Amino acid sequence: MNKKFLFFLAALTGSFSANAQLSKTETVELLQKIDDALSNLKTVVYKIDYKDKRFSGKDTLRTIAVCSLYIAKSDKMNAYNSVDALREITHSYPGSCQHMKYDGKKALFASARVDTLDKVRLSIDTERQARLGVVRSYSNLLLTEYFTEKKLFGKLSAVTDKIVVKEEMLNGKPVYVITFALEDTEDYRDRIVKQYISKASYLPVALYSFARWENMEEYAYTEVDYLAVNPDIPLEAFKVHEDEAVDLKERYKAFKEKAKL
């Protein structure tokens, strides 16, 4: 599960800065609708735009990816996946194009700088710990905690008086905003997490977190655009072949079209 979300969920027994704007009944109904929408997902294709800065970091790192998931709750990683991503390290670095794939038995990872896409570094791992390590290296793009964690949002029903729920607009679309704002401690201050939920689909469409420590800031912002919900994706689409080759030039071209870059 997303570590920041777990941290703030665990801290809900503490003191918060505001009361919920929706009534308790309305909030509980909303949380149930979110869990119902998430539990109905079997396959999903989405674009994710992820930005984050760590306390010790100077740059805001950005990753844009198009992810296809086949939910498999019996699998250790909860889903088979195929991911194409553009990682930008800094504004001066052209970024790297990546293609990852996982079918439950093998994990593929291919990468190359955007300006040298013919120089591909490719690995295929079959050993359990190695392949799980590969998937965990890009798990922040997979959102499987949303799609597989049972009653993730329903767990907030017991503390509806300690969260703020508002109706706002995000990118021109109506959303519910669930806010967790913790009181300052001796170590951290201004800690906040905002979860944005689509009013049309009840699916998470953005997540924001922020905190200060000493004179440093840490924050992350994720936006999700669902390209297809429960499309007919065959398992073969996630199959990793031992002799598989990856043409990153073609994948990058297709990725830019899907991501509208």
Alpha-carbon distance of 174 to 199, in angstroms, equals 6
pLDDT by residue, tens only, the chain of 261 residues? 444 444 444 444 343 333 347 788 888 999 999 999 999 999 999 999 998 877 666 777 889 999 999 999 899 999 999 999 998 756 666 789 999 999 999 999 999 999 999 999 999 999 999 999 999 999 999 999 899 888 899 988 877 777 889 999 999 999 999 988 666 667 767 778 899 999 999 999 999 988 887 777 888 899 999 999 999 999 999 999 999 999 999 999 999 999 988
The predicted structure's pLDDT at residue 214: 76
CATH of domain 3-259: 2.50.20
The predicted structure's pLDDT at residue 111: 96
Q: CB-hemisphere CA count at 13 Å for 9? A: 14
The predicted structure's pLDDT at residue 55: 66
Alpha-carbon distance of 113 to 98, in angstroms, equals 9
Q: CB-hemisphere CA count at 13 Å for 17? A: 11
188-198/204-213 β-pairing: antiparallel
The predicted structure's pLDDT at residue 150: 86
Q: How far is CA 104 from the centre of its chain?
A: 20
Alpha-carbon distance of 121 to 167, in angstroms, equals 46
Contacts of 261 (CB under 8 A, 6+ apart): 64, 86, 255
